[in-house]
């Protein structure tokens, strides 16, 4: 871990990453790609030491409240967060200045901040997005080795739902010949229904590979699934978009299941929902305080 000072913290779209790099070890992680020009090892987390000061300045200056996003490039609940609490402190600032938040994680550590998320959501809006890739926890331990398993993520989603916090699932990536099965898609969508997820984002049944993440992914395939790398190379060459041969069939199944369970499954509609800032009517806030 090392500290750096940065010039700004919020992107044009009001997204932020308090850390750079990640230790969750997902074998397919796009954030490893060379195009992001990281000048340190991916696991050597860069901590933006002035991030919270910059965030407070930015929130104070904004004329209109909006949703603040986090988790696009680095999971905000990496193990280091337990010690540094940057994400927690950022949530407290978001609460203090009456903004909304849409965070994205794979970790059930998010539950540590349940009370803050509840308070934000009582008055404004807090949405937790969680990525799920496989219903098979044994496979999950291989492809996402340093973060909690899908079962634990499902339990966290249920707790969030029970506390009134809306949740969205990212169903990606789907790795050809590893998790691109009807059984997997069915089990994940079914679980989302059971734990009260509002909607599922899915960009196709496949993954993206480019310089930096491809090499790492292939090394991990060699370690855990001998022979699979050669199959990928034969079939997909150097393609950026690596689509499962079962893409069409699985997408049809995915949409049908979401319809059946009443889950949002239109990406545009879900992104519009995530970006929409909401302030709860005062009578609703008062009734929540009475509970």
The contact set with ligand SF4 (CB under 6 A) reads 22, 24-26, 29, 31, 74-75, 106
Long-range contacts of 136-140 (CB under 8 A, 24+ apart): 136/179, 136/184, 139/178, 139/179
Q: Which is nearer to ligand SF4, 73 or 274 (CB)?
A: 73
C-beta of 31: minimal distance to ligand SF4 in Å? Answer: 5
Helices and strands, counts by H and E, the chain: 12, 11
Residue 199's φ and ψ, nearest 5 degrees, are: -165, 165
Please check whether residue 134 is in contact with residue 143, taking contact to mean a CB–CB distance below 8 angstroms: yes
Please check whether residue 28 is in contact with residue 207, taking contact to mean a CB–CB distance below 8 angstroms: yes
C-beta of 290: minimal distance to ligand SF4 in Å? Answer: 38
Residue 48's φ and ψ, nearest 5 degrees, are: -80, 95
C-beta of 95: minimal distance to ligand SF4 in Å? Answer: 25
C-beta of 103: minimal distance to ligand SF4 in Å? Answer: 12
Q: What angle do CA 98, 104, 105 make, to 5 degrees?
A: 125
Q: Which is nearer to ligand SF4, 9 or 22 (CB)?
A: 22
Please check whether residue 56 is in contact with residue 90, taking contact to mean a CB–CB distance below 8 angstroms: no
C-beta of 175: minimal distance to ligand SF4 in Å? Answer: 12
Report the candidate in 138, 136, 247, 137 with the shortest Cα–Cα distance to residue 184: 136
C-beta of 22: minimal distance to ligand SF4 in Å? Answer: 3
Is the omega angle on the peptide bond into residue 173 within 30 degrees of 0, that is, cis?
yes
Q: Which is nearer to ligand SF4, 43 or 57 (CB)?
A: 43
> What distance in Å separates the CA atoms of residue 99 and residue 103, rounded to the nearest whole number?
13
Q: Kind and range of the H or E element at 257?
A: helix 247-261
Burial class (CB in 10 A: 0-12, 13-18, 19+), 179: buried
Residue 171's φ and ψ, nearest 5 degrees, are: -95, 85
C-beta of 146: minimal distance to ligand SF4 in Å? Answer: 8
Token pair belonging to 1: 């871990």
C-beta of 213: minimal distance to ligand SF4 in Å? Answer: 9
Q: Which is nearer to ligand SF4, 139 or 257 (CB)?
A: 139
Q: Which is nearer to ligand SF4, 22 or 58 (CB)?
A: 22
């Amino acid at each position: 871990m090392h500290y750096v000072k940065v010039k700004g913290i919020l992107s044009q779209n009001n997204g932020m990453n308090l850390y750079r790099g990640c230790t969750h070890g997902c074998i397919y992680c796009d954030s490893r790609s060379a195009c992001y020009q990281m000048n340190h090892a991916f696991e050597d987390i860069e901590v933006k030491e002035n991030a919270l000061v910059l965030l407070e300045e930015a929130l104070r200056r904004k004329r209109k409240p909006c949703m603040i996003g986090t988790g696009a490039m680095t999971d905000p609940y990496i193990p280091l967060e337990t010690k540094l609490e940057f994400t927690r402190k950022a949530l407290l600032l978001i609460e203090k200045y009456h903004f909304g938040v849409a965070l994205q994680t794979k970790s059930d550590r998010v539950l540590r901040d349940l009370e803050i998320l509840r308070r934000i959501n009582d008055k404004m809006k807090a949405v937790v997005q969680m990525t799920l890739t496989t219903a098979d926890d044994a496979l999950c331990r291989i492809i996402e080795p340093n973060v909690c398993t899908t079962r634990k993520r499902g339990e966290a989603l249920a707790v969030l739902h029970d506390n009134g916090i809306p949740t969205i699932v990212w169903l990606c990536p789907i790795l050809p010949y590893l998790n691109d099965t009807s059984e997997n898609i069915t089990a994940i969508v079914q679980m989302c229904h059971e734990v009260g997820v509002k909607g599922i984002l899915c960009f196709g049944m496949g993954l993206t590979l480019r310089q930096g993440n491809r090499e790492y992914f292939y090394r991990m395939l060699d370690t855990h699934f001998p022979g699979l790398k050669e199959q990928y190379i034969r079939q997909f060459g150097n393609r950026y978009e690596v689509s499962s041969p079962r893409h069409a069939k699985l997408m049809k199944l995915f949409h049908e299941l979401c319809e059946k369970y009443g889950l949002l499954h239109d990406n545009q509609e879900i992104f519009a929902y995530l970006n929409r800032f909401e302030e709860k009517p005062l009578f609703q806030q008062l009734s929540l305080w009475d509970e």
